[in-house]
Amino acid sequence: MSLLFTMIVAAVLSAPAPLVFPNTPGTVWSYKAAVQWTVLGSNAVRSAHLDWEMSVLSSQSSGATTVTVLQGFPGDLSAYKPGLKPGRTLWTTSGDGLYLQTLSAEEDLKSAVAEALKGPPAGDRILKSSPQVGDCLGNEPDRHDGKYCWSVERKITRQGRAGWSIAYQTLSDQERIEVVPGLGITGYEYEHHGTVASVKAAGFRSSPR
């Protein structure tokens, strides 16, 4: 085997694997979620078990960037109150990783997608293109405690596919997402350390309408 061939093979094997996720419009994930919330203006805590859906509304690509519009990202449940309506989230993959941006009800969806496609991607970069356990993305330079950044906690396997459990922790709350290329979001957790608010969502399926 020639040295040149060996070098080419090594380069291919070491190249970042693309973070490919289901993005066909109409794709739906169904979750079983346990939620807790505090009744506004009181100390009363309520809990519920509910079914929650996330769906792909649209997906557009430009070069190496793909912007997928999700409705009902499980993170919406962190602010759960009875009657909560699913929000919109941009899920952007580019050459340097995966970005997550929650849109407010007032933001213009078309403009947000156009800006994300034009780049640089908006929102938080939650995974690098080649994730490694211990990655800490978006952290403040003077912090060394693993907080206030998207950290890769561990590798996971779901339905025979490799993925990662990532978390964002602050002094007041923590958020955890299971991200599996080819499957999507396979689990979500949220816990507030003060006023009671928590979410545990899992048990998904992925299918077109």
pLDDT in tens, the chain (209 residues): 555 444 443 333 334 455 889 999 999 999 999 999 999 999 999 999 999 999 999 999 999 999 999 999 999 999 999 999 999 999 999 999 999 999 999 999 999 999 999 988 889 999 999 999 999 998 776 777 778 999 999 999 999 999 999 999 999 999 999 999 999 999 999 999 999 999 999 988 777 75
Scan for tokens 């952290």, then name that residue: 139
Q: Identity (one letter) of the amino acid at 123?
A: G
How far apart CA 180 and CA 79 sit, in angstroms, is 24
3-state SS assignment for residue 13: helix
The dihedral through the CA atoms of 99, 104, 109, 114 has a sign that is negative
Q: Please, which residues have CB within 8 angstroms of residue 115's CB and are 6 or more apart in sequence?
A: 122
Which ranges in the chain belong to alpha helices (H)? 3-14, 109-118
3-state SS assignment for residue 171: coil
Q: Which two tokens stand for residue 119?
A: 């780049």
pLDDT of residue 142: 72
The pLDDT tens digits of the residues spanning 43-61 come to 999 999 999 999 999 999 9
How far apart CA 111 and CA 1 sit, in angstroms, is 52
3-state SS assignment for residue 122: coil
